[in-house]
Chains A and B, each alone.
Chain A
Amino acid sequence: MGSKESFSINNSRVVEPLQDNADGKSSATVKQYKVSIRNLDAWYGSKQALKNINLDVKANTATAFIGPSGCGKTTLIRCLNRMHEMTPGAGARGQVILDGINIYDNKTVDPVIIKRRIGMVFQKPNPFPTMSIYDNVAAGLKLNGVKNKRLINDIVKESLEDAVLWDEVKNELDKPGMGLSGGQQQRLCIARALAMQPEILLMDEPTSALDPTASSKIEELVYNLKKNLTIIIVTHNMQQAARVSDYAAFMYLGELIEYGPTNQIFKNPQKELTERYISGKFG
């Protein structure tokens, strides 16, 4: 990723950082982190899904969101790239500060740009069904007006390499993406996200539909990708969270119960609720 030539819609500095943040914290404090979430609430209609979430995510780390079904993990990551608000009746209030910019400040921030800077990989692999492997990866670039064929070729190759899929598909790039195995399809989706050169990659249970071998490839990928990206992963698999993440956040009933280094969360959690959940005593 680091060596990749930037294309013309490079998102990295579309909006200049703000001098001060709305909550009064100096931007210097918040800018230590790639993402800072402040007083975030989210709803589906009248049902509150997130309650006053406050969390800081360091750059080039992998952070795991864990917790029982319905605790708000997926809602939280969908708030991070403003996907949550696309659900009919859904809303959010609070701040998500990306590199010092509140992404919910509609005066200065274009949600489309945010989605480019923050890529997402979903639970089930979802390649574009009618497209070839090549076109799946190139689609985002083309949609954003990139026309330079050589540049697209380079980015497709590098994205597939970064997703550790290139060697398996380099001779069949024109074949349908849907023809790949489940694990390959998920890596294709990761390559598709990487092609947009995101700064953050959100992964919503990316291995829940995969077999153990395919899952370990994705886990290795997370480890390697965080050299260039910040990764936030939602997982139900405690051991996966323990293996791949540097930090872990335990959520319950829409609240952030405990957040800290993964080593501490899994060896010596400070909250009894965290202890009970990760030990399998409820959930």
Chain B
Amino acid sequence: MTRLLDLGLDRIHNIIMDMAKLSESSVLTALGSYEEGTRIKSQIFDWSEKLRTLQEEVADLAIELIARFQPVATDLRFIRSCMEISYGFSRFGRYAYDIVDVLETMGSISDCDKSTVLEMAGTVREMIQLSLHALRSRDKDAAEKLYQMDDTVDALYRKYLREIITPQSQQDKRFSDPRCYVSALLILRYLERISDHACYIGDSVHYIRTGTSSPRR
């Protein structure tokens, strides 16, 4: 016989899976926009808002399930983690919007060197996919891999930051147009934050499975 709590847990799980798809699409579409120069701010804004609404829905449902059923053990850990994961997905949406907002604000950056951003975007794409895979398959070991990838992302971000503030950068063609390096730096920062949230999703999966934080956290 199905527990009444299970009906609520299924509902919360379905919302989280919807958020997973939408947040992944938001970030990938925003990155595609950067790469190809398309303008899709309004669509990403709608998705970001939808993610925020779904996050509130998860929080409301989680509180209701706790109040009505006093869940324990894996059920309780799952509910707590869903609240954290849904926050992570809503941040994915927000940073996706910030990326396209930068593109709108800066105007055309088609002549800029995009290599660093695209390099980081490739890693972050993999991280999003890995975190979603971890969530779907309840893979507790993904957290460690995600943190290793996050180290790469952090290093890339710091390297770029150091480059643009050194005196030699004045001579570097990549840094001649402020629109290029300001947009790149902002987008790198947003990607770095997305990378952090992908790690937190991995952490949450680890917590659901084991009841402890992942070793890196």
Of B3, B73, B74, the most chain A CB neighbours within 10 A belong to B73
Stretch of A16-24, A102-110, A151-159, A263-271 contacting B (4+ beta carbons < 8 Å): A263-271
Please tell me the size bucket of the interface on B: 10 to 19
Q: Are A267 and B3 in contact (CB under 8 A)?
A: no
Complex: A136 Cα to B183 Cα, angstroms = 82
The A-contacting residues of B in range 70-126, CB under 8 angstroms, are: 70-77
Known: A238-B72, A242-B72. A281 touches B211 (CB 8 A): no
Q: Which A241-278 residues sit within 8 Å CB-CB of chain B?
A: 242, 266-269, 274-275, 278
How many residues in A have their beta carbons less than 8 Å from beta carbons of B?
13
State the CA gap A38–B91 with chains docked (Å): 54
Rounded to whole Å, the gap between the CB of A257 and the closest CB of chain B is 14
B5 CB contact (under 8 Å) in A268, A269, A280: A280
Task: Check B70–A238 contact: CB distance below 8 A.
Answer: yes
**A239: which of B3, B70, B74 is its contact (CB, 8 Å)?**
B70
Nearest CB of chain B from residue A249's CB, rounded to whole Å: 15
Is the CB of A8 closer than 8 A to any CB of chain B?
no
A133: min CB distance to chain B, Å: 35
* Shortest CB distance A6–B (Å): 42
Number of A-B contacts (CB under 8 A): 33
A208 within 8 A of B: no
Q: When chains A and B are docked, how far (Å) is the Cα of A278 from the Cα of B71?
A: 9
Name the contact of A267 in the complex, choosing from B5, B70, B72 (C-beta under 8 A).
B72
Known: A267-B211, A268-B211, A268-B212. A279 touches B70 (CB 8 A): no
The B1-58 residues at the A interface (CB cut-off 8 A) are: 3, 5
Q: How far is the CA of A278 from the CA of B73 in the complex (A)?
A: 8
CB distance from A279 to the nearest CB of B (A): 5
Per the bound structure, the CA–CA distance linking A156 and B60 in Å amounts to 50
Q: Which residues of A contact B211 (CB under 8 A)?
A: 267-268
Q: Which of A238, A239, A280 has the most CB of B within 10 A?
A: A280
Q: Which residue in B3, B76, B210 is a CB contact (below 8 Å) of A281?
A: B3
Shortest distance in angstroms between A66's beta carbon and chain B's nearest beta carbon?
A: 11
Are B3's CB and A275's CB within 8 A?
no
| Nearest B residue to A266, CB-CB | B72
A279 surroundings in chain B (CB, below 8 A): 3, 71-75
Residue from B3, B70, B71, B77 within 8 A of A268 (CB atoms): B77
* A275–B78 CA distance with the chains assembled, in angstroms: 13
Distance from B196 Cβ to chain A, minimum over Cβ atoms (Å): 25
CB distance from A181 to the nearest CB of B (A): 26
- Return 21 A-B CB contacts under 8 Å, by A number: A239-B70, A266-B72, A266-B76, A267-B72, A267-B76, A267-B211, A268-B77, A268-B210, A268-B211, A268-B212, A269-B73, A274-B73, A275-B73, A278-B72, A278-B73, A279-B3, A279-B73, A279-B74, A279-B75, A280-B3, A281-B3
Given contacts A268-B73, A278-B72, A279-B75, 9 further A-B contacts (CB under 8 A): A266-B72, A267-B72, A267-B211, A268-B211, A274-B73, A275-B73, A278-B73, A279-B3, A279-B71
Q: Give the interface of B toward A (CB within 8 A).
A: 3, 5, 70-77, 210-212
